[in-house]
Amino acid sequence: MVMDNSFEPCDFVLFGTMGDLSRRKLLPSLYQLEKAELIHPDTTIIGVARQEMSKEDYIAEVKSNIEKFSDKALCEDTWNRLCERLDYICVDMKDINSYKAFDDVVDPNRVMVCYLATPPAIYGDICRGLHGCDIIDSSVRVVLEKPIGHDLDSSKVINDQVSEYFNESQIYRIDHYLGKETVLNLIALRFANSIFATNWDHNCIDHVQISVAESVGIEGRWGYFDDAGQMRDMVQNHLLQILSLVAMEPPATLDADSIRDEKLKVLKALRPIDVSNINDVTVRGQYTAGFVKGEEVPGYLEEDDANTRSKTETFVAIKAEIDNWRWAGVPFYLRTGKRMPTKVSEVVIYFKRQPHNLFGDSFNSLPPNKLVIRLQPDEGVEITVMNKIPGLTSSGSMDLQKSKLDLSFSEAFSEERIPDAYEKLLLEVMLGNQALFVRRDEVEQAWNWVDSILDAWNHTAEPPEPYQAGTWGPVASIGLLARENRSWYESKLTKKR
Ligand SMILES: NC(=O)C1=CN([C@@H]2O[C@H](COP(=O)(O)OP(=O)(O)OC[C@H]3O[C@@H](n4cnc5c(N)ncnc54)[C@H](OP(=O)(O)O)[C@@H]3O)[C@@H](O)[C@H]2O)C=CC1
Ligand SMILES: O=C1O[C@H](COP(=O)(O)O)[C@@H](O)[C@H](O)[C@H]1O
């Protein structure tokens, strides 16, 4: 391990340590960081929840969770080191008096990281409670989970509550897609390769597709999901972050604000969608019963705890446009949904056809160049290029064939384990690097764009279009591209099934 001066020990406090996110993602990620020897030897990890539990019981809980959610058998050596760091306190986060428990477990002279894996509605209570026991100073960092709010106004309220006690430089807003290796690779791909850097605009690119398909349904989270829908759950954050990275201008440096300034400019340039164009540029759907990977699954309205009249969308497709010099006339088609045939996230850049045909019919019948960036799974990059079919012809013409240059990360970097996004983000927050976290103005600008779409959907009062689980969404989503003589990219992962 290389530990430089920025690597300080900290008290890492995990609020909501018994919740779903902590169990499935955060605790296993801390274990992986321990395994990679990336946690400072003096760092402590303190779980906070409202149930009475001894430290020993907490440690046993954490162990069984890591065993359940890690991909490999527990490494005893790693576990022994991790469990030495663990402690637990019982706090009712809404009760200011219960924060006294912190006095016994945190050291005021060390950096404290407060990870709020709780409902956002209690972020304000937690900040007030920490302030009440006098442990907030400029060295304390607070990590906020998404979604921050339900719309622009409620997100401002939450951000204001947190900002009463923390400066923006202390606030780390998580969008876990920013911790995915392949999402980060968008920056490397664009700005470390002149073949892409110089061709990345309306002169060369016809359109862009961003698809984030999930095969899972709502995973027992009806209460949360029905209030949110796919628009708030996925588009407001993950898809708009991917879009910003694909479309942003080159940042001056890789420091946090250089990148965030450029992403913000993209979000500000998104053409508003409202009642005047909602039906032309958006499609929303809701899954009905069907089969995913051969297994029968219920429809959204038949999920546990469902309100059978819900109009919440589980699928969204949008034709987005960015009104700036670089992207004039280049549509960005976004698509995301639950209960689709397979889990796959891809960005596909469709380049324009060459202006003059030297090659006759074979040129016209082949699609122009395409760059496919596979974000997950089977992470990699694929480029479609034209080649001459080898051989002799009497006419002197050339017959073309498309071929693929396919770089699969698992083959190219076979020695490297691809870390989970949360591992990367937990490490960054311990290092105090904000580059992979979302700034307040980005969150609010994203809400601004999304709110207008949600308002327009409410105004039209039309229900989402049904689509059968295990399909690619409502038929209208095909129409969104077909009427412009385009079609959704068919992932090679779908073809493999
Ligand atoms: N789960 C996921 O996959 C994802 C979650 N998120 C976000 O992460 C956050 C946590 O989500 P998730 O883990 O699913 O939620 P859960 O409801 O599973 O967990 C929340 C935790 O907070 C605790 N809590 C709530 N109120 C209090 C209180 N007053 N005092 C003490 N503890 C309290 C709960 O304790 P108790 O068990 O006692 O109720 C629970 O352990 C949310 O902001 C969510 O939007 C973001 C992306 C994905
Ligand atoms: O934030 C969320 O993301 C997951 C999808 O994340 P992934 O890393 O598995 O692609 C989504 O299922 C969940 O509903 C949402 O809250």
pLDDT tens-digit readout, 134-147? 888 999 999 999 98
Residues 338 and 314 sit within 8 Å (Cβ to Cβ)? yes
Residues 137 and 106 sit within 8 Å (Cβ to Cβ)? no
DSSP per-residue codes, 54-78: -HHHHHHHHHHHHHHHSSSPPPHHH
Determine if residue 219 is labeled as part of a ligand binding site: no
Q: How far apart are CA 388 and CA 90, in angstroms?
A: 69
pLDDT tens-digit readout, 334-389? 999 999 999 999 999 999 988 888 887 777 888 889 999 999 888 889 998 888 88
Supply the mean pLDDT for the chain. Answer: 92
Determine if residue 180 is labeled as part of a ligand binding site: yes
Chain centroid to CA 109: 34
The reply to whether 150 belongs to the active site is no
Give the ligand whose atoms come closest to the C-alpha of residue 51.
1
Give the ligand whose atoms come closest to the C-alpha of residue 224.
1
Q: Which of 443, 378, 412, 399 is nearest to 174 (CA)?
A: 443
Nearest CA to ligand 2 atom 9: 214
> What ipTM was assigned to the predicted interfaces of this complex?
0.97
Six token digits for residue 278? 């909602």
Please compute Rg for the chain using Cα positions: 24
Nearest CA to ligand 1 atom 48: 21
Three-class secondary structure of residue 87 per DSSP? strand
Q: How far away, in angstroms, is 364 Cα from ligand 1 center?
A: 54
Residues 156 and 444 sit within 8 Å (Cβ to Cβ)? yes
CB-based contacts of 129, cutoff 8 Å, min separation 6: 91, 93, 95, 96, 98, 99
Q: How far apart are CA 495 and CA 489, in angstroms?
A: 11
Q: How far away, in angstroms, is 17 Cα from ligand 1 center?
A: 8
- Measured in degrees and rounded to the nearest 5, phi and psi for residue 386 equal -95, 140
Ligand 2 interacting residues, C-beta cut-off 6 A: 214, 216, 233
**Ligand 1, pocket-test mutation among 65, 118, 145, 305, most atoms within 8 A of CB:** 118
The predicted pLDDT at position 206 comes to 97
Q: Which atom of ligand 1 is nearest to the CA of 17?
A: 41
Determine if residue 343 is labeled as part of a ligand binding site: yes
The finding on whether 98 has its CB within 6 A of some atom of ligand 1 is no
Q: Which atom of ligand 1 is nearest to the CA of 221?
A: 14
Q: How far away, in angstroms, is 241 Cα from ligand 2 center?
A: 14
Nearest CA to ligand 2 atom 3: 234
Residues 14 and 87 sit within 8 Å (Cβ to Cβ)? no
Determine if residue 388 is labeled as part of a ligand binding site: no
Determine if residue 262 is labeled as part of a ligand binding site: no
Six token digits for residue 156? 């401002």
Q: Choose, from 202, 207, 238, 356, the residue flagged as catalytic.
A: 238
What predicted TM-score, i.e. pTM, was given to this entire model?
0.94
The finding on whether 219 has its CB within 6 A of some atom of ligand 1 is no
Q: How far apart are CA 348 and CA 365, in angstroms?
A: 20
The finding on whether 234 has its CB within 6 A of some atom of ligand 1 is no
- Please list the ranges in the chain whose pLDDT falls under 70: 1-6, 414-415, 493, 495-497
The predicted pLDDT at position 6 comes to 56
Residues 158 and 151 sit within 8 Å (Cβ to Cβ)? no
The finding on whether 93 has its CB within 6 A of some atom of ligand 1 is yes
